[in-house]
Amino acid sequence: MSSNENKNPPDSAVYFRLFTEIGIINQLASNRAERAMPHGLTMSQFGVLNHFSRGLPPKPPLELANAFQVTKGAMTNTLKQLEGKGFVDIVPHENDKRSKVVSISKKGRAAHQDAQIELAKQFADFSEAFSIEEISAQLPALEKLRIWLDENRA
Amino acid sequence: MSSNENKNPPDSAVYFRLFTEIGIINQLASNRAERAMPHGLTMSQFGVLNHFSRGLPPKPPLELANAFQVTKGAMTNTLKQLEGKGFVDIVPHENDKRSKVVSISKKGRAAHQDAQIELAKQFADFSEAFSIEEISAQLPALEKLRIWLDENRA
DNA sequence: CCAATATAGTTCAATATTAAACTAAATGCA
DNA sequence: TGCATTTAGTTTAATATTGAACTATATTGG
Protein backbone atom coordinates (compact mmCIF):
# COMPACT_ATOMS: atom_id res chain seq x y z
CA MET A 1 0.00 0.00 0.00
CA SER A 2 1.58 3.23 -1.14
CA SER A 3 1.74 5.95 1.46
CA ASN A 4 2.29 8.73 -1.03
CA GLU A 5 -1.29 9.46 -1.92
CA ASN A 6 -4.43 10.01 0.08
CA LYS A 7 -2.51 10.38 3.28
CA ASN A 8 -4.64 9.80 6.31
CA PRO A 9 -2.34 10.68 9.15
CA PRO A 10 -3.20 9.54 12.64
CA ASP A 11 -4.60 12.10 15.05
CA SER A 12 -1.29 12.32 16.85
CA ALA A 13 0.24 13.83 13.70
CA VAL A 14 -1.65 17.08 14.29
CA TYR A 15 -0.29 17.44 17.80
CA PHE A 16 3.12 16.46 16.56
CA ARG A 17 3.05 19.15 13.92
CA LEU A 18 2.04 21.77 16.44
CA PHE A 19 5.15 21.17 18.49
CA THR A 20 7.35 20.81 15.44
CA GLU A 21 6.22 24.21 14.13
CA ILE A 22 6.68 25.78 17.53
CA GLY A 23 10.11 24.20 17.87
CA ILE A 24 11.27 25.57 14.52
CA ILE A 25 9.86 29.03 15.20
CA ASN A 26 11.59 29.03 18.56
CA GLN A 27 14.88 27.97 17.02
CA LEU A 28 14.78 30.63 14.31
CA ALA A 29 13.59 33.36 16.65
CA SER A 30 16.10 32.47 19.39
CA ASN A 31 18.87 32.51 16.85
CA ARG A 32 17.91 36.03 15.85
CA ALA A 33 17.44 37.19 19.40
CA GLU A 34 20.76 35.82 20.63
CA ARG A 35 22.61 37.84 18.05
CA ALA A 36 20.86 41.01 19.24
CA MET A 37 21.76 40.62 22.92
CA PRO A 38 23.89 43.43 24.36
CA HIS A 39 26.20 43.27 27.40
CA GLY A 40 27.16 39.69 26.51
CA LEU A 41 23.79 38.51 27.76
CA THR A 42 22.76 34.95 26.99
CA MET A 43 19.11 34.17 26.45
CA SER A 44 19.02 32.50 29.86
CA GLN A 45 20.35 35.60 31.51
CA PHE A 46 17.96 37.80 29.57
CA GLY A 47 15.11 35.52 30.62
CA VAL A 48 15.82 36.18 34.28
CA LEU A 49 16.06 39.94 33.76
CA ASN A 50 12.87 39.84 31.76
CA HIS A 51 11.10 37.91 34.47
CA PHE A 52 11.77 40.61 37.02
CA SER A 53 11.26 43.46 34.57
CA ARG A 54 7.72 42.23 34.13
CA GLY A 55 7.14 43.30 37.70
CA LEU A 56 7.39 39.90 39.33
CA PRO A 57 8.64 40.01 42.92
CA PRO A 58 12.08 38.93 44.18
CA LYS A 59 12.38 35.18 44.69
CA PRO A 60 14.85 32.40 45.49
CA PRO A 61 17.00 30.69 42.84
CA LEU A 62 15.01 27.48 43.12
CA GLU A 63 11.79 29.23 42.16
CA LEU A 64 13.53 30.75 39.18
CA ALA A 65 14.89 27.34 38.18
CA ASN A 66 11.37 25.93 38.32
CA ALA A 67 9.90 28.88 36.45
CA PHE A 68 12.38 28.39 33.61
CA GLN A 69 12.40 24.61 33.77
CA VAL A 70 16.13 24.34 34.26
CA THR A 71 18.10 22.56 36.97
CA LYS A 72 19.25 24.28 40.14
CA GLY A 73 22.82 23.96 38.88
CA ALA A 74 22.02 25.80 35.67
CA MET A 75 20.36 28.59 37.63
CA THR A 76 23.35 28.85 39.96
CA ASN A 77 25.48 29.44 36.89
CA THR A 78 23.11 31.94 35.24
CA LEU A 79 22.76 33.94 38.45
CA LYS A 80 26.51 33.96 38.97
CA GLN A 81 26.95 35.58 35.56
CA LEU A 82 24.20 38.11 36.24
CA GLU A 83 25.57 38.93 39.67
CA GLY A 84 29.05 39.33 38.18
CA LYS A 85 27.63 41.89 35.76
CA GLY A 86 25.81 43.64 38.61
CA PHE A 87 22.44 42.99 37.00
CA VAL A 88 20.88 41.20 39.96
CA ASP A 89 21.17 41.46 43.72
CA ILE A 90 21.33 38.24 45.69
CA VAL A 91 20.77 38.41 49.43
CA PRO A 92 20.28 35.76 52.15
CA HIS A 93 16.73 34.71 52.83
CA GLU A 94 15.36 36.26 55.99
CA ASN A 95 13.90 33.17 57.58
CA ASP A 96 15.60 30.29 55.80
CA LYS A 97 19.36 30.25 56.04
CA ARG A 98 19.63 27.68 53.27
CA SER A 99 18.01 30.03 50.81
CA LYS A 100 18.62 33.29 48.97
CA VAL A 101 16.50 35.96 47.36
CA VAL A 102 17.20 37.32 43.89
CA SER A 103 16.05 40.70 42.61
CA ILE A 104 16.88 42.85 39.61
CA SER A 105 19.20 45.83 40.13
CA LYS A 106 18.99 49.29 38.61
CA LYS A 107 21.82 48.31 36.25
CA GLY A 108 19.89 45.16 35.42
CA ARG A 109 16.81 47.15 34.49
CA ALA A 110 18.89 49.38 32.25
CA ALA A 111 20.48 46.34 30.58
CA HIS A 112 17.06 44.83 30.04
CA GLN A 113 15.91 48.07 28.45
CA ASP A 114 18.96 48.03 26.15
CA ALA A 115 18.19 44.45 25.22
CA GLN A 116 14.61 45.31 24.37
CA ILE A 117 15.76 48.10 22.09
CA GLU A 118 18.19 45.79 20.28
CA LEU A 119 15.50 43.14 19.98
CA ALA A 120 13.12 45.65 18.44
CA LYS A 121 15.78 46.47 15.84
CA GLN A 122 16.53 42.83 15.13
CA PHE A 123 12.84 42.08 14.63
CA ALA A 124 11.94 45.27 12.74
CA ASP A 125 11.48 43.37 9.49
CA PHE A 126 9.31 40.85 11.26
CA SER A 127 7.01 43.53 12.62
CA GLU A 128 6.71 44.97 9.13
CA ALA A 129 5.67 41.59 7.80
CA PHE A 130 3.13 40.78 10.53
CA SER A 131 0.60 43.26 11.86
CA ILE A 132 -0.04 43.72 15.53
CA GLU A 133 -3.59 42.55 15.00
CA GLU A 134 -2.43 39.36 13.32
CA ILE A 135 -0.04 38.53 16.13
CA SER A 136 -2.42 39.53 18.89
CA ALA A 137 -4.99 37.18 17.46
CA GLN A 138 -2.65 34.24 18.11
CA LEU A 139 -1.77 35.08 21.68
CA PRO A 140 -4.80 33.74 23.54
CA ALA A 141 -4.49 30.28 22.04
CA LEU A 142 -0.76 30.17 22.74
CA GLU A 143 -1.30 31.36 26.28
CA LYS A 144 -3.83 28.64 26.81
CA LEU A 145 -1.33 26.05 25.61
CA ARG A 146 1.45 27.49 27.74
CA ILE A 147 -0.69 27.61 30.86
CA TRP A 148 -1.90 24.07 30.42
CA LEU A 149 1.60 22.70 29.83
CA ASP A 150 2.88 24.66 32.80
CA GLU A 151 0.17 23.38 35.11
CA ASN A 152 0.38 19.82 33.84
CA ARG A 153 4.09 19.17 33.69
CA ALA A 154 4.67 15.50 33.04
CA MET B 1 0.32 52.72 6.65
CA SER B 2 -0.17 49.88 9.03
CA SER B 3 -0.33 50.31 12.76
CA ASN B 4 3.02 48.64 13.19
CA GLU B 5 4.87 51.67 11.93
CA ASN B 6 4.63 53.57 15.15
CA LYS B 7 7.17 52.98 17.83
CA ASN B 8 4.99 52.76 20.89
CA PRO B 9 6.47 50.34 23.40
CA PRO B 10 3.15 48.51 23.74
CA ASP B 11 3.43 47.54 20.07
CA SER B 12 6.74 45.73 20.35
CA ALA B 13 5.43 44.14 23.52
CA VAL B 14 2.96 42.13 21.47
CA TYR B 15 5.70 40.65 19.28
CA PHE B 16 7.78 40.08 22.33
CA ARG B 17 5.02 38.19 24.02
CA LEU B 18 4.51 36.01 20.98
CA PHE B 19 8.06 34.73 21.12
CA THR B 20 8.03 34.48 24.89
CA GLU B 21 4.94 32.27 24.80
CA ILE B 22 6.41 30.16 22.03
CA GLY B 23 9.68 29.85 23.90
CA ILE B 24 7.98 28.63 27.07
CA ILE B 25 5.77 26.19 25.18
CA ASN B 26 8.81 24.86 23.41
CA GLN B 27 10.71 24.45 26.65
CA LEU B 28 7.88 22.64 28.41
CA ALA B 29 7.08 20.44 25.42
CA SER B 30 10.71 19.59 24.71
CA ASN B 31 11.22 18.66 28.30
CA ARG B 32 8.33 16.24 28.10
CA ALA B 33 9.42 14.86 24.78
CA GLU B 34 13.01 14.29 25.84
CA ARG B 35 11.91 12.13 28.70
CA ALA B 36 9.87 9.97 26.33
CA MET B 37 12.72 9.23 23.92
CA PRO B 38 13.66 5.55 23.64
CA HIS B 39 17.01 4.10 22.50
CA GLY B 40 18.87 6.92 24.23
CA LEU B 41 17.80 9.27 21.45
CA THR B 42 18.32 12.99 21.95
CA MET B 43 15.87 15.41 20.41
CA SER B 44 18.50 16.31 17.82
CA GLN B 45 18.89 12.70 16.84
CA PHE B 46 15.14 12.23 16.77
CA GLY B 47 14.84 15.31 14.57
CA VAL B 48 17.05 13.75 11.94
CA LEU B 49 15.19 10.44 12.03
CA ASN B 50 11.92 12.35 11.84
CA HIS B 51 13.11 14.33 8.86
CA PHE B 52 13.74 11.20 6.85
CA SER B 53 10.71 9.38 8.19
CA ARG B 54 8.60 12.11 6.67
CA GLY B 55 9.70 10.79 3.30
CA LEU B 56 12.35 13.38 2.56
CA PRO B 57 15.16 12.09 0.35
CA PRO B 58 18.73 11.26 1.45
CA LYS B 59 20.94 14.34 1.70
CA PRO B 60 24.37 15.55 2.79
CA PRO B 61 25.18 16.55 6.39
CA LEU B 62 25.42 20.21 5.47
CA GLU B 63 21.86 20.30 4.17
CA LEU B 64 20.69 18.71 7.40
CA ALA B 65 22.66 21.26 9.42
CA ASN B 66 20.97 24.07 7.50
CA ALA B 67 17.54 22.48 7.81
CA PHE B 68 17.90 22.27 11.58
CA GLN B 69 19.77 25.55 12.00
CA VAL B 70 22.74 23.99 13.74
CA THR B 71 26.42 24.19 12.86
CA LYS B 72 28.17 21.63 10.70
CA GLY B 73 30.09 20.51 13.78
CA ALA B 74 26.90 19.82 15.70
CA MET B 75 25.56 17.78 12.79
CA THR B 76 28.81 15.81 12.56
CA ASN B 77 28.30 14.86 16.19
CA THR B 78 24.58 14.01 15.86
CA LEU B 79 25.20 11.86 12.78
CA LYS B 80 28.07 10.08 14.50
CA GLN B 81 25.72 9.03 17.30
CA LEU B 82 23.03 7.93 14.87
CA GLU B 83 25.50 6.00 12.77
CA GLY B 84 26.87 4.35 15.90
CA LYS B 85 23.37 3.17 16.74
CA GLY B 86 22.89 1.95 13.19
CA PHE B 87 19.97 4.32 12.64
CA VAL B 88 21.37 6.08 9.58
CA ASP B 89 23.55 5.06 6.66
CA ILE B 90 26.24 7.47 5.57
CA VAL B 91 27.88 6.91 2.20
CA PRO B 92 30.25 8.96 0.06
CA HIS B 93 28.67 11.35 -2.39
CA GLU B 94 28.77 10.04 -5.93
CA ASN B 95 30.04 13.15 -7.67
CA ASP B 96 31.54 15.23 -4.91
CA LYS B 97 34.28 13.53 -2.96
CA ARG B 98 34.17 16.16 -0.22
CA SER B 99 30.60 15.25 0.56
CA LYS B 100 28.50 12.44 2.00
CA VAL B 101 24.91 11.33 1.76
CA VAL B 102 22.83 10.44 4.81
CA SER B 103 19.78 8.21 4.75
CA ILE B 104 17.68 6.49 7.38
CA SER B 105 18.17 2.75 7.92
CA LYS B 106 15.60 0.09 8.59
CA LYS B 107 16.67 0.08 12.23
CA GLY B 108 16.33 3.86 12.21
CA ARG B 109 12.77 3.67 10.94
CA ALA B 110 11.91 1.19 13.67
CA ALA B 111 13.47 3.43 16.30
CA HIS B 112 11.52 6.40 14.99
CA GLN B 113 8.33 4.39 15.18
CA ASP B 114 9.15 3.46 18.79
CA ALA B 115 9.76 7.09 19.56
CA GLN B 116 6.44 8.14 18.08
CA ILE B 117 4.66 5.60 20.23
CA GLU B 118 6.38 6.85 23.37
CA LEU B 119 5.62 10.45 22.42
CA ALA B 120 1.94 9.63 21.96
CA LYS B 121 1.93 8.15 25.48
CA GLN B 122 3.74 11.11 26.96
CA PHE B 123 1.30 13.56 25.38
CA ALA B 124 -1.86 11.54 25.94
CA ASP B 125 -3.09 13.94 28.61
CA PHE B 126 -2.39 16.86 26.31
CA SER B 127 -4.48 15.40 23.51
CA GLU B 128 -7.30 14.86 25.98
CA ALA B 129 -7.15 18.51 26.97
CA PHE B 130 -6.97 19.96 23.44
CA SER B 131 -9.15 18.78 20.58
CA ILE B 132 -7.74 18.08 17.16
CA GLU B 133 -9.90 20.87 15.77
CA GLU B 134 -8.55 23.36 18.28
CA ILE B 135 -4.95 22.50 17.47
CA SER B 136 -5.52 22.31 13.73
CA ALA B 137 -6.95 25.79 13.83
CA GLN B 138 -3.61 27.13 15.06
CA LEU B 139 -1.41 25.44 12.51
CA PRO B 140 -1.83 27.75 9.49
CA ALA B 141 -0.83 30.85 11.44
CA LEU B 142 2.17 29.06 12.96
CA GLU B 143 3.22 27.73 9.57
CA LYS B 144 3.06 31.23 8.17
CA LEU B 145 5.32 32.47 10.95
CA ARG B 146 7.73 29.58 10.52
CA ILE B 147 7.95 30.00 6.76
CA TRP B 148 8.55 33.72 7.03
CA LEU B 149 11.26 33.33 9.66
CA ASP B 150 12.87 30.57 7.63
CA GLU B 151 12.90 32.62 4.45
CA ASN B 152 14.04 35.78 6.18
CA ARG B 153 16.78 34.57 8.44
CA ALA B 154 18.54 37.56 9.90
C1' DC C 1 13.93 16.35 72.15
C1' DC C 2 16.47 14.35 68.47
C1' DA C 3 17.49 11.28 64.82
C1' DA C 4 15.85 10.62 60.11
C1' DT C 5 14.47 12.86 56.21
C1' DA C 6 13.74 16.68 53.12
C1' DT C 7 15.12 20.99 51.01
C1' DA C 8 18.23 25.04 49.01
C1' DG C 9 22.14 25.77 46.89
C1' DT C 10 26.89 24.49 44.99
C1' DT C 11 30.09 21.61 42.68
C1' DC C 12 31.52 18.12 39.39
C1' DA C 13 31.81 14.97 35.39
C1' DA C 14 29.59 14.18 31.17
C1' DT C 15 27.42 15.88 26.96
C1' DA C 16 25.66 19.09 23.29
C1' DT C 17 26.54 23.07 20.93
C1' DT C 18 29.21 26.96 18.94
C1' DA C 19 32.82 29.51 16.47
C1' DA C 20 36.98 29.00 14.50
C1' DA C 21 40.92 26.48 12.72
C1' DC C 22 41.97 22.88 9.78
C1' DT C 23 41.99 19.27 5.70
C1' DA C 24 40.61 17.87 1.37
C1' DA C 25 38.21 18.54 -2.79
C1' DA C 26 35.78 21.49 -6.19
C1' DT C 27 35.25 25.76 -8.70
C1' DG C 28 36.58 29.84 -11.03
C1' DC C 29 39.04 32.94 -13.53
C1' DA C 30 43.28 34.80 -15.71
C1' DT D 1 46.05 25.14 -17.56
C1' DG D 2 47.17 26.44 -12.70
C1' DC D 3 46.65 29.21 -8.71
C1' DA D 4 43.25 31.40 -5.64
C1' DT D 5 38.99 30.91 -3.62
C1' DT D 6 35.08 28.42 -2.06
C1' DT D 7 32.86 24.48 -0.11
C1' DA D 8 32.05 19.90 2.80
C1' DG D 9 33.25 17.87 6.63
C1' DT D 10 36.09 17.22 11.02
C1' DT D 11 38.37 18.74 15.02
C1' DT D 12 39.13 21.65 18.99
C1' DA D 13 38.52 24.93 22.88
C1' DA D 14 35.03 27.31 25.26
C1' DT D 15 30.44 27.46 27.32
C1' DA D 16 25.74 25.97 28.92
C1' DT D 17 23.21 22.42 30.70
C1' DT D 18 22.21 18.02 33.14
C1' DG D 19 22.06 14.53 36.84
C1' DA D 20 24.22 13.23 40.78
C1' DA D 21 27.06 13.93 44.78
C1' DC D 22 27.79 16.98 48.46
C1' DT D 23 27.10 20.72 52.31
C1' DA D 24 24.28 23.16 55.23
C1' DT D 25 19.92 24.07 57.13
C1' DA D 26 14.99 22.93 58.10
C1' DT D 27 11.25 19.84 59.12
C1' DT D 28 9.09 15.79 60.89
C1' DG D 29 7.75 11.90 63.60
C1' DG D 30 8.92 8.69 67.51
| Per-residue pLDDT tens over the stretch A18-72 | 999 999 999 999 999 999 999 999 999 999 999 999 999 999 999 999 999 999 9
Confidence of residue B141 (pLDDT cuts 50, 70, 90): very high
Whether the pLDDT of residue A80 is over 80: the answer is yes
Does the CB of B153 fall within 7 Å of any strand C atom?
no
Question: Which residue places its CA closest to the C1' of nucleotide D26?
Answer: A96
* Of A4, A19, A28, Cβ closest to residue B153: A28
> Which residues 13-42 in chain A show a CB within 8 A of chain B?
14-33, 35
Structural domain range at position A30: 12-121
**Chain A contact for B150, CB < 8 A?**
yes
Nucleotide nearest to A27 (CA to C1'): C17
Distances (CA, A) of B13 to A63, B9, B56, B64, B102: 25, 6, 38, 34, 42
Taking CA–CA distances from A132, the nearest residue in chain B reads B4
Asked if residue B115 belongs to a domain, the reply is yes
pLDDT score for B4: 42
**Chain A contact for B122, CB < 8 A?**
yes
Confidence of residue B153 (pLDDT cuts 50, 70, 90): confident
Render pLDDT for B7-33 as a digit per residue (tens, 0 to 9).
Answer: 444 678 899 999 999 999 999 999 999
Whether the pLDDT of residue A1 is over 70: the answer is no
Confidence of residue B92 (pLDDT cuts 50, 70, 90): very high
A16 within 8 A of B119, measured Cβ to Cβ: yes
- Average pLDDT of chain A is 92
Asked if residue B1 belongs to a domain, the reply is no
Does the CB of B73 fall within 7 Å of any strand C atom?
yes
Round to a whole number and report the distance in Å from the CA of B35 to the C1' of C5.
28
Whether the pLDDT of residue A12 is over 90: the answer is no
**Residues from chain B contacting residue A138 (CB–CB below 8 Å):** 18, 138, 141-142
**Helix H segments across A37-86?**
43-53, 61-68, 72-84
The alpha-carbon gap from B7 to the nearest alpha carbon of chain A, in Å, equals: 9
Mean pLDDT, residues B103-113: 98
Whether the pLDDT of residue A6 is over 70: the answer is no
Asked if residue A130 belongs to a domain, the reply is no
Give backbone dihedrals phi and psi of B104, rounded to 5 degrees, phi first: -80, 145
CATH number for the domain that contains residue B52:
1.10.10.10
Asked if residue A93 belongs to a domain, the reply is yes
pLDDT score for B1: 43
**Helix H segments across chain A?**
12-36, 43-53, 61-68, 72-84, 106-122, 124-129, 132-151
Q: How many CB atoms lie within 10 A of CB A131?
A: 14
- Total of domains in chain A: 1
Does the CB of B71 fall within 7 Å of any strand C atom?
yes
Q: How many CB atoms lie within 10 A of CB B41?
A: 23
Distances (CA, A) of B2 to A36, A60, A134, B148, B154: 25, 43, 12, 18, 22
Distances (CA, A) of A68 to A62, A71, B16, B36, B85: 10, 9, 17, 20, 32
Whether the pLDDT of residue B144 is over 90: the answer is yes
Whether the pLDDT of residue B110 is over 80: the answer is yes
Round to a whole number and report the distance in Å from the CA of A150 to the C1' of C23.
48
Round to a whole number and report the distance in Å from the CA of A45 to the C1' of D22.
26
CA separation for the pair B25, A134 (Å, rounded): 20
Asked if residue A150 belongs to a domain, the reply is no
**Residues from chain B contacting residue A35 (CB–CB below 8 Å):** 154
Taking CA–CA distances from A151, the nearest residue in chain B reads B28
**Chain A contact for B4, CB < 8 A?**
yes
**Chain A contact for B56, CB < 8 A?**
no
Give backbone dihedrals phi and psi of A7, rounded to 5 degrees, phi first: -60, 135
